[in-house]
Structure 1
Amino acid sequence: MTAQLEAPEITVAKAGGAIGAVIGNVQLGGDLAPETVTAIRQALLDHKVIFFREQHHLDDAGQLAFAKLLGTPTLAHPTSKSLDDAANVLPIDSDYGKANSWHTDVTFVDRIPAISILRAVTLPPYGGATTWANTVAAYANLPEPLKALVDRLWAVHSNVYDYAGHADEGRIGGVDVKVETHRKQFQSKLFETEHPVVRIHPETGERSLVLGHFVRRLVGLSSAETTALFQLLQNRITNLDNTVRWQWQPGDLAIWDNRATQHYGVADYDDQPRRLHRITLAGDVPVSVDGVRSTPRTGDATHFSSLDN
């Protein structure tokens, strides 16, 4: 009888004290051994974002085949267009905007994606890093009185402005046509969802903060109170000690736990082209610390994603 070959063990090296690890000794694809997939998923839960170098062999099909080992792919986006030949792949393309604002992916729907998988396609000669923050650690490090407050808070998230936008509109005649077209497509269908500010992670049981730039208001608070409290909490999340910054190289792929992180694409590469391809995996509807599920106010996202139960 021929002995079955064992899959080589992956290596895991921390990239930062609070978040991030570099995974080695693996070539990603749809044919990984189950024990390798389990080890990758555990590294993701432990470190929140994990990085892979030298994955030059991957194309969209290979990225998708690997993604299916970790979960059920969603459509590329609830409103924005996917690639013509890949309904699950969203191009993150600098020609149409830059995601240089702290956010968790697609929090304006009730079924927030569980995991995002991002592969470098075209990189600028300088700049263009992405930074991630640990929303579990940010919550854990809050003073107890502040935890007691945020445990009962709810926020309304919406896609009412551009994915990478800081302003709702520009001067007439001064708008980039590509960016404006993308913005209109992004807002073509309105979504608003009420999420707990603190959710329970469905796999680890940890508490994490659900905030980011899709938040429009905190339920029951005035606009001034919303702004003050939102900034206080966001500053806790994005404190540099709570982040890891990844400088992309050709062949890189990053996977992050979208239930436990925020991220920010640093727009420091001038007008150089930058393009990465993202696949997201179905998640659950967030649940508050007292067991109440998020509630959609406007828009039905069932076309975008199944529910991961």
Structure 2
Amino acid sequence: MSQFDIRKIGGRIGAEVVGADVRDLSDRIFGEIHEALLEHKVLGFRGQDLTDDDQLAFAAKWGELTGAHPTVPGIDGKREILPVDGEASRANQWHTDVTFVQTPPKISTLRGLVVPPYGGNTLIANTAAAYRDLPDELRAFADGLWAVHTNDYDYVKPAAAGVDPAKQAEHRKAFVSQTWKTAHPVVRVHPESGERNLFIGGFAQRIVGLSGTESRAILDILQAYVTRPENVLRWVWSPGDLIVFDNRITQHYAPDDYGDLPRRLHRVTVAGDVPAGTDGRESYRVEGDNAAHYTPTATPS
């Protein structure tokens, strides 16, 4: 018998893990949590009240950790922890973490530290369900497409209420201090479950072989399936919450709907592999180095 419950939140995505302390998980219970993540794509743990070291230890159960980000520094003394601070930037658009490198992280963990009394939720979408929603003709078309992902675009929107313009400018300067462009299959095959999903999101800026205008039109059509309400989970934060999502088969979005109120999370990510498409071909670098300083699974130069 399991010592905890896994309770579905939505029909297509998301479950809450009840009765488990992530600081004290047996191999058997962690195995069940692992299987639950593959099924539900995102898991939420209420009221864990973890320290930074606790979060790092839990994330490390999933595999080797990445740095905080390829260009944005981590918190002092903890290079693997990225501060997600609404005062410095608000990246309120759909994306999958760090897809502009050849080996994006496979797992992302987010921990709530400072949470506004309203707004500031995190939305997470099931990109496998989106792929299954496509009409047969559009699905066959998408199977053969490749997209170039890059960090060099307007990822962070103009300063809003509560955002410090100087901190935002500093964040933007760091974010694009080095440029990467990587071609990934638009339809990725999940390396564990074998599910196909739409591996696109905000960093996907161009379809290989097409113009910018043509690319935008196709990406917008496919993205509309990802963000259908039935494919999306909304996590309403409380301080001390932890969520874990499979970065290989989800997108996420943080709505900028909390005015000048503070919001701060800590993110830790787990190193992933090179994505592969439906024909087995793997992602390849177009511009930039192999990001070996960021991820231990970087492919050789």
The TM tier, using the shorter chain, reads over 0.9
Cross-structure match for 1:34: 27
Shift, 1:308, TM fit: 9.1
Residue identity opposite 1:19 in structure 2: I
Cross-structure match for 1:15: 9
In structure 2, relative to structure 1, the CA distance for the partners of 1:241 and 1:200 (3 Å cut) is same
Identity of aligned residues (%): 49
User: Does structure 1 conserve the Cα–Cα contact (< 8 Å) formed by 2:146 and 2:185?
Assistant: yes
Name the CA distance, whole Å, in 1 between partners of 2:69 and 2:120. Answer: 22
Cross-structure match for 1:47: 40
Name the CA distance, whole Å, in 2 between partners of 1:164 and 1:18. Answer: 29
Task: Output one character per residue of 1:149-188: Cα deviation in whole Å (capped at 9) or x when no partner.
Answer: 11010000000035433x7xx9xxxx91110110010000
Q: Kindly tell me the number of residue pairs found equivalent between the two proteins.
A: 294
Cross-structure match for 1:3: none
Q: Equivalent residues in 2 for 1:222-261 (5 A)? A: 222-261=211-250
Name the CA distance, whole Å, in 2 between partners of 1:66 and 1:132. Answer: 21
**TM-score, normalising length: structure 2:** 0.94
Task: Output one character per residue of 1:260-295: Cα deviation in whole Å (capped at 9) or x when no partner.
Answer: 100000111101010000000010000011011100
Residue identity opposite 1:198 in structure 2: V
SS of 1:234's equivalent in the other structure is: helix
User: Does structure 2 conserve the Cα–Cα contact (< 8 Å) formed by 1:118 and 1:254?
Assistant: yes
User: Does structure 1 conserve the Cα–Cα contact (< 8 Å) formed by 2:107 and 2:247?
Assistant: yes
Cross-structure match for 2:166: 177
Residue identity opposite 2:156 in structure 1: A
Structure 1: runs of 5 or more not aligned? 1-5
In structure 2, relative to structure 1, the CA distance for the partners of 1:199 and 1:74 (3 Å cut) is same
Name the CA distance, whole Å, in 2 between partners of 1:95 and 1:44. Answer: 31
Cross-structure match for 2:258: 269
Structure 2: runs of 5 or more not aligned? none
User: Does structure 2 conserve the Cα–Cα contact (< 8 Å) formed by 1:49 and 1:257?
Assistant: yes
SS of 2:17's equivalent in the other structure is: strand
Cross-structure match for 2:133: 141
User: Does structure 2 conserve the Cα–Cα contact (< 8 Å) formed by 1:161 and 1:183?
Assistant: no
Residue identity opposite 1:34 in structure 2: D
SS of 1:96's equivalent in the other structure is: coil
SS of 2:44's equivalent in the other structure is: strand
Residue identity opposite 2:228 in structure 1: N
Name the CA distance, whole Å, in 1 between partners of 2:61 and 2:288. Answer: 29
Shift, 1:237, TM fit: 0.3
User: Does structure 2 conserve the Cα–Cα contact (< 8 Å) formed by 1:10 and 1:39?
Assistant: no
Alignment RMSD, CA only?
Answer: 1.6
Q: Pick from 54, 63, 73 the counterpart of residue 62 of structure 1.
A: 54
Residue identity opposite 1:79 in structure 2: T
Residue identity opposite 2:89 in structure 1: G
Cross-structure match for 1:155: 147
Shift, 1:9, TM fit: 2.4
Structure with max Cα Rg: 1
SS of 1:139's equivalent in the other structure is: helix
Q: Which runs of 4+ in 1 moved over 2 A?
A: 161-165
Task: Output one character per residue of 1:69-113: Cα deviation in whole Å (capped at 9) or x when no partner.
Answer: 121110110000100110110000011111210000000000010
User: Does structure 2 conserve the Cα–Cα contact (< 8 Å) formed by 1:157 and 1:215?
Assistant: yes
Name the CA distance, whole Å, in 2 between partners of 1:185 and 1:227. Answer: 26
Residue identity opposite 1:209 in structure 2: L
Q: Pick from 96, 106, 113 the counterpart of residue 98 of structure 2.
A: 106
Shift, 1:227, TM fit: 1.4
Cross-structure match for 1:305: 295
In structure 2, relative to structure 1, the CA distance for the partners of 1:126 and 1:232 (3 Å cut) is same
Cross-structure match for 1:220: 209
Residue identity opposite 1:39 in structure 2: E
Name the CA distance, whole Å, in 2 between partners of 1:109 and 1:74. Answer: 12
Cross-structure match for 1:81: 73
User: Does structure 2 conserve the Cα–Cα contact (< 8 Å) formed by 1:37 and 1:70?
Assistant: no
Name the CA distance, whole Å, in 1 between partners of 2:298 and 2:58. Answer: 17
**TM-score, normalising length: structure 1:** 0.92
SS of 1:296's equivalent in the other structure is: strand
Name the CA distance, whole Å, in 2 between partners of 1:22 and 1:164. Answer: 30
